Chain A
């Protein structure tokens, strides 16, 4: 059973546009919500992460919005670039960044020139 639900499954966005990926969770014990970027044939790399006491976190072109009451969080990629074309996974864990990660199903993002 998927503990973290992610949508959409795939996304096509034009260069310069905004990519938005959404995730929802049920377990209120989760206290760490990271986003990972994965290129084909490579392991995932941490992009940005948030804890539930913060509603938004921005790092460069990447922003996480977190809605604790709705149990939802989303990733916004501003000014999307062709190099951002990858699969993005949201995840959640109990016990902070050291806990066991439960991954969403992933979103394949394609940024067209």
Chain B
């Protein structure tokens, strides 16, 4: 199956700093990537959808100025959590799909654990 990686796997930062999380499709071109947030023992909540070369579409209630998403290439999307606070501590997961190549499912990355002190 197709492989999606995330970097870093874990990050700890101080309150007020910004953190960038990378999501890469390793063996396919991801025309669309999704970003999810998962709190402990809870479900995955979709934050935003990003299509390569265009602005991300955010779900209701997600602050676009706080969670900056860039999908500048077909294999890389980044999520930047700006001015992070302890309530932003969560497990962030991306998924990727390739409409053009015919992959008929979304492939999930391994997730990034963010802890804001």
The interface size of chain B toward A, counting residues with CB under 8 Å, comes to 23
Interface pair B105/A103, CB less than 8 Å apart? no
Interface flag for B78 (CB, 8 Å): no
**Majority SS at the chain A contact face:** mixed
Among candidates B6, B42, B95, residue contacting A105 with C-beta atoms closer than 8 Å: B42
Interface pair B44/A103, CB less than 8 Å apart? yes
CB neighbours of B56 from chain A (8 A): none
Among candidates B97, B104, B110, residue contacting A43 with C-beta atoms closer than 8 Å: B110
- A98 to B51 alpha-carbon distance, docked (Å): 12
- A44 to B108 alpha-carbon distance, docked (Å): 6
Given A89-B44, A105-B43 in contact, is the A97-B106 Cβ separation under 8 Å? yes
Count A-B contacts at CB 8 Å. 52
B6 nearest CB across to chain A (Å):
8
- Chain B: which residue is nearest A105 at the CB level? B43
Of residues 8 through 48 on chain A, the ones whose CB sits less than 8 Å from some CB of chain B are 34, 36, 41-46
- A108 to B43 alpha-carbon distance, docked (Å): 11
CB neighbours of B99 from chain A (8 A): 98
Given A89-B43, A89-B44, A106-B43 in contact, is the A41-B105 Cβ separation under 8 Å? no
Top 3 closest pairs, chain A to chain B, by CB: A43-B108, A103-B43, A97-B105
